[in-house]
Amino acid sequence: MAALKYAGMDDTDSEDELPPGWEERSTKDGWVYYANHDEMKTQWEHPKTGKKKRCAGDLPYGWEQETDEKGQIIYIDHINKRSTYFDPRHAFTVEDVVVKPKRYDGNTAALEILQGRDLSDKVVLITGGNAGIGFETARSFALHGAHVILACRNLTRANKAVSLIQEEWHKARVEAMMCNLASLRSVREFAESFKAMKLPLHILVCNAAVCTQPYMLTEDNLESTFQICHLGHFLLVQCLQDVLRRSAPARVVVVSSESHRFTDLLDSCGKVDLALLSPSKKDYWSMLAYNRAKLCNILFSNELHRRLSPYGVTSNALHPGNMMYTSIHRSWWLMTFLFTLARPFTKSMVQHCVDSMFENLLWGLGGILCCFM
Q: Which of 61, 290, 311, 325 is catalytic?
A: 290
Has 85 been annotated as catalytic? no
Q: What angle do CA 125, 127, 128 make, to 5 degrees?
A: 135
Cis-peptide into 20, omega within 30 deg: no
* Structural element, H or E, at residue 306: helix 286-308
- Beta carbons of 354 and 346 less than 8 angstroms apart: yes
**Are residues 167 and 174 in contact, defined by beta-carbon separation less than 8 angstroms?**
no
Edge to edge, what strands does the sheet with 313-318 contain? 173-178, 147-152, 123-127, 203-206, 250-255, 313-318
Q: Coil, strand, or helix at residue 168?
A: helix
Cα distances from 335 to residues 193, 223, 285, in angstroms, run: 36, 20, 13
Q: What are phi and psi of 173, to 5 degrees?
A: -95, 95
30 vs 33: CA distance, rounded Å: 9
- CA distance readout (Å), 37 to 23, 30, 42, 61, 102: 8, 21, 9, 32, 36
Active-site amino acid positions: 290
